[in-house]
Amino acid sequence: MPAPDEGRGKAWREGAERLRRAARTEPGRLRLIGAALALAVVVFGAVTAWQGSDRYASADDVVGRGQTVKDTADLYGALADADTQAATGFLAGPTEPSDVQSAYRGDIARAATLLSGLAENVAPGSHSAALIARINGRLPVYTGLIERARAANRRDLPLGGAYLRYANERMAGTDGILPAAEDLYTEQSARLNAESGSARTWPRAAVALGILALLLLAAAQYRNYRMTNRVFNRGMLSATVACTAVLLWLVAAQTAGDIGLHRADRDGQQSLVVLNDARVNALKARADENLTLISRGSVVAADGRTDLYEVDFGAKTAKLWADLEGARGLADDAAGRTPVLAAIDAVATWRERHAAGSRASAAGEFARAREEVNGRGQTSEQAFARVNTALATAIAHEQDEFTASAKNGRGALAWLWLGAAVLAVLAAVSAILGVGRRLSEYR
């Protein structure tokens, strides 16, 4: 009994010998040509279907991930606005305005809803899931501190300000809730960029195999012409047409998909990144402005003299201004540019009114300073509201542009995989039938 390796070697030798014998006759050569053409076409179709399906899945992820990124940005906005509303209500005195209290509760409820939705859309055990769990665990602690601050404020106890500052530290401190929300947004944005890049990667293997299949079909038809003096073989011509259709469909679909996803990134996502940063800095600056009045200079910066929250307000509004200038440059139409210009104008007004409040506070006129910041009429609060409204309008416009372009890119790739599979099978069958017609002449 021969050894297994000897048996396999003998089988290979016998197979090679049969191929050599077949290649010595024209029918044998035709069978080999038919098999090679069918194999080339099927491999081309299979790779095209695989890569087309992969690109479509990535484009579909871009559309879905865009919503997830929006939700993470909204989560940060809701949390930061809740912190701002808590400070605004505290400054109003023992009787907190009902609209401010309602806004705070609405922000907390919205944050809880967004956290629940995000938890369902991230992979269990991932870093994003850990960030969501961290926010979920710390949010009740923060709201508890806010309620303690309110209770103390209603009794006109100085301890209320300390509770509020401590709550703000839990929200915005280095290891707080907002940094976790910001990390979540950054991570989801990075995944969106990666998925967009994957969807826009050209299927070079499929294109190369398509060109190879067409070259083999052309060579087979040229050989047929030389052997028979017949210009066309219907089977091989049909296979050539089908392969050409798949290759052109592949190139057209990938080009259209790339254009749509590129527009989604250029006209939507890039602007959204800058606008979301602007919203974050606006909310942080507003919280710092309120805390400046609450602390009354009790929290100092590193120099030991300057109010820490005043320094932070200046830094945040400077970043806000830079973000808005960047957003103005990225806006590609009037609908996106107009709200950005309105926000820039409102920031300039906000700075002026904040400066007036700071001068009053420095002069020891706390009541007037509070009126300049959170009173009625032309105040910092009113200017901030204009900034916030303008940013919300700009973000909504850019989000719509992103979603529409991403869906267009996804739509271009929708049926490529199925079309490639069907046409490749038809091409393989046509090539075999074309070769079979020549074989029939030898019977």
16 in any annotated domain:
no
332 in any annotated domain:
yes
422 in any annotated domain:
yes
Query: What is d(CA 251, CA 202) in angstroms, rounded to the nearest whole number?
Result: 9
Domain range spanning residue 41? 33-198+225-438
Query: What is d(CA 343, CA 321) in angstroms, rounded to the nearest whole number?
Result: 9
300 in any annotated domain:
yes
Residues forming beta bridges with residue 287, ordered by sequence position = none
pLDDT in tens, 213-238: 999 999 988 887 777 766 677 888 99
215 in any annotated domain:
no
Per-residue pLDDT, 31: 77
Note the residue count of the chain: 443
Please report which residue ranges of 296-330 form alpha helices under DSSP H.
308-330
Please report which residue ranges of 92-176 form alpha helices under DSSP H.
98-121, 127-154, 159-172
Backbone angles phi, psi at 307, to 5 degrees: -65, 125
- Say if CB 235 and CB 436 are below 8 A apart: yes
Tally of structural domains, the chain: 1
Better-scored residue on pLDDT, 424 or 23: 424
Q: What average pLDDT score do residues 81-95 get?
A: 81
| Side chain identity, residue 351 | R
Per-residue pLDDT, 5: 57
Match 């926010």 to its residue by tokens: 135
Better-scored residue on pLDDT, 439 or 268: 268
67 in any annotated domain:
yes
What's the chain's Rg over C-alpha atoms? 34
pLDDT in tens, 143-187: 999 999 888 888 877 788 788 888 888 888 888 899 999 999 999
- Say if CB 52 and CB 420 are below 8 A apart: yes
Query: What is d(CA 143, CA 139) in angstroms, rounded to the nearest whole number?
Result: 6
244 in any annotated domain:
yes
Per-residue pLDDT, 116: 92
- Conformation bin of residue 11: beta by default, left when phi > 0, alpha when psi is -120 to 50: alpha
Q: What average pLDDT score do residues 371-381 get?
A: 74
pLDDT in tens, 273-315: 899 889 989 988 888 887 777 766 566 666 656 667 788 888 8
Q: Which residues contact 321 (CB under 8 A, 6 or more apart)?
A: 344, 347
Query: What is d(CA 200, CA 255) in angstroms, rounded to the nearest whole number?
Result: 9
pLDDT band for 205, please (50, 70, 90 cuts): very high
Query: What is d(CA 398, CA 277) in angstroms, rounded to the nearest whole number?
Result: 14
Query: What is d(CA 82, CA 11) in angstroms, rounded to the nearest whole number?
Result: 77
Per-residue pLDDT, 280: 87
26 in any annotated domain:
no
Does position 361 have pLDDT exceeding 80, yes or no? Answer: no
Does position 197 have pLDDT exceeding 80, yes or no? Answer: yes
- Tokens encoding 293: 């009045």
The SS3 call for residue 379 is: coil
Per-residue pLDDT, 160: 81
